[in-house]
Structure 1
Amino acid sequence: MKDHSFLSRVRKILPELHPAERKLGELVCDFPGEIASYSASELANLAEVSNATVTRFVRRLGYTSYEEARRHARLEKDSGSRLYLNTVKTEAPHSPSVYAQSDIKNIERTTSSLDESDIDALTQALLTAQKVSVIGFRAGAPLAQYLQWQLLQVIENTVMLPNSGQTMGENLAALSAKDIVVVFGLRRRISQFDLILKIISNSAAKLVVISDESMPIFTAADWHFRCSTLSSGPLFSHVGVMALINLITNRTIDAAGDLGRKRLESIEYLNEFIGEL
């Protein structure tokens, strides 16, 4: 079972377990974060089973010890799996104000970590780039699309990668020193994410990374902005990412000056002429 995730191991053996072990297995399936956080004795008390049951359970999973199982679970927790956010003793709050307070903190943490000179340098680089490419996977995909749409108001050659029906390699092969690539790296990142960053950083193009706080600074990037994504519920909050996008796009439009305003005017005129809006 060495190549299986921690949870897939539990789910595979669950039907074969004796009642006490199955009780423990069902708890772990519902709240996998507990094994990453608690000792063997604490987990036994939580599931209301014996310590011996915990020992037999982890051996059935293919681990030599509880600590080995916990290390494996922690790796999955650190990778950003939302399943690991729920706990037995806590429930997601129902009050909208609790979520609002959490989101406000995410925006404050994200914006307070920004260096204004970095934003200024990035906006100038965006405006002088030959092409701006935006890449996002999973949770990052709609955020990348939103950034691309907003930048398109002032930067004509702004595209999402990969293009429909094309491979990532076909798009990355054409990067030049006049290009900028913005990559969203939000949990959980795809397995090829690091390789894609390496390929872009080895090209002549400028690289912008927008990630959550769990990702270490990618030193090869020209800019790396880390956003706070903590949440009161089981899903990550991306309001901090949206705040960063809002800042970047508005500053870019402002910096574009008359040329930017003329493009915006042309877009609005055509929208009205065609009758799309």
Structure 2
Amino acid sequence: MEPTLTKRIAQVREQLSAGGLRVVDFFAAHPAEASVFSAQEIARRAEVSDATVIRTVKQLGFGGLGELRRAAAAMLNPVRDPEQTLAEHLTRSDDSGRLLAKISLDAVELVRALPQSVPAETFEAAVGILAAASNTLVVGYGSALPVAESLSLGLRRISRTASATGLTGYNFADELSQLKPTSALVLVAPLRHVREHDVAISEALRIGCPIVLITEVLASHFADRVETVLVTPSTEKLLPSNLIAHLLLVDALLLAVSALDPERALDGWKTTNRLRTELVEGSLDVPLTPSIAAKFPLPGSASGTPPVG
């Protein structure tokens, strides 16, 4: 059996330079990031040179960064038993009176970790793919489907063409057939790897369609086949669902895409609100506060109409 990344680090630690120690400490503390980060990003986070990262990888006995990524991913225990996870959560939830406080504190920890788990350049690459796409197909299964639908709906509301699907089996073929080289494919796959993911990636690669993966533990399964991987923080030891980080990431993506073409985004919302008004025969807008109006100014005016939920 191949030695684990943790064991390799222990075996060579005394032989490493100060820079090498910073690199392995980063690997040990941030296995999710290490499983997808480039040598340049690892170097930036560990405050060393790219050459130090590559040299340390070799000293650990890996043939290259790809091998190290797989070893780092193995530390994440991607095969998570839902029954065992629930049992562990229940042991932390024996005091129902304090449960809300516990889950809130865990949620705060999760939110604070999100910016560190998604490098700025990775996030910007995903935004660029979504902004340039003629249409976006967002795929999510099980509990990931609401996240996929949220991203799809948000894109449509800012004048982008998008759809979400949770279809499986041969029905999924109809969804994949809408992909073109100018499309974007987004896979929301927090924990589970299914055959549909592989087929979707293969089809997107065949036609030259860029792929964005949003995940918690599956980065190493797909990193070599997709353009961009957005890794959310681990929730294995936390009470909140992984969907919290995924939904926050979706909100950030939508705001960033909107910021690239504000007029297009505002036009989309104006159309949505106009149609809503016609459908209900009245306005759904809420009174604006100065702070809200400042966030959503209309072109040529000092005030604006914010998106309505």
CA RMSD of aligned residues (A): 3.0
Give, as a single letter, the amino acid of the residue that structure 2 aligns with 1:90: T
Q: Which residue of 2 aligns with 1:242?
A: 247
Tell me: CA distance 1:88–1:143, structure 2 relative to 1, closer, same or farther (3 Å). closer
Give, as a single letter, the amino acid of the residue that structure 2 aligns with 1:264: W
Query: Structure 1: how far apart are the matches of 2:126 and 2:204?
Result: 17
Using the TM superposition, give the Cα deviation of residue 186 of structure 1 relative to its aligned residue in structure 2, in angstroms.
1.9
Bigger-Rg structure (1/2): 1
Q: Which residue of 2 aligns with 1:269?
A: 274
Deviations 1:196-218 (A, max 9, x none): 33333333111000011354252
Q: Which residue of 1 aligns with 2:128?
A: 124
Give, as a single letter, the amino acid of the residue that structure 1 aligns with 2:83: L
* 1:227 has 2:232 as partner: yes
Using the TM superposition, give the Cα deviation of residue 157 of structure 1 relative to its aligned residue in structure 2, in angstroms.
1.4
Task: Name the count of aligned residue pairs.
Answer: 202
Q: Which residue of 1 aligns with 2:186?
A: 182
Q: Structure 1 residues 165-174 or 263-272, which shifts more? A: 165-174
Summarize the alignment of residues 37-52 of structure 1 with structure 2, pairs less than 5 Å apart.
none
- Gaps spanning 5+ residues in structure 2: where? 1-76, 285-309
Structure 1 residue ranges, 4+ long, deviating more than 4 angstroms after superposition: 162-166, 231-235
Deviations 1:166-198 (A, max 9, x none): 721222234221000111112233344334333
Query: Structure 1: how far apart are the matches of 2:195 and 2:239?
Result: 23
Using the TM superposition, give the Cα deviation of residue 265 of structure 1 relative to its aligned residue in structure 2, in angstroms.
1.2
Query: Structure 2: how far apart are the matches of 1:156 and 1:208?
Result: 16
Query: Structure 2: how far apart are the matches of 1:104 and 1:249?
Result: 22
* Contact 2:103/2:240, CA 8 A, preserved across alignment: no
Q: Structure 1 residues 177-186 or 258-267, which shifts more? A: 258-267
Query: Structure 2: how far apart are the matches of 1:123 and 1:244?
Result: 11
Tell me: CA distance 1:213–1:169, structure 2 relative to 1, closer, same or farther (3 Å). same
* Contact 2:182/2:209, CA 8 A, preserved across alignment: yes
Summarize the alignment of residues 133-144 of structure 1 with structure 2, pairs less than 5 Å apart.
133-144=137-148
Q: Which residue of 1 aligns with 2:210?
A: 206
* Contact 2:144/2:188, CA 8 A, preserved across alignment: yes
Using the TM superposition, give the Cα deviation of residue 108 of structure 1 relative to its aligned residue in structure 2, in angstroms.
2.0
Tell me: CA distance 1:251–1:113, structure 2 relative to 1, closer, same or farther (3 Å). same
* Contact 1:130/1:178, CA 8 A, preserved across alignment: yes
Query: Structure 1: how far apart are the matches of 2:106 and 2:236?
Result: 6
Q: Which residue of 1 aligns with 2:176?
A: 172
Give, as a single letter, the amino acid of the residue that structure 2 aligns with 1:178: T
Query: Structure 2: how far apart are the matches of 1:113 and 1:148?
Result: 23
Scaled by the length of structure 1, what TM-score is found?
A: 0.63
Q: Which residue of 2 aligns with 1:54?
A: none
Scaled by the length of structure 2, what TM-score is found?
A: 0.57
Q: Which residue of 2 aligns with 1:84?
A: 84
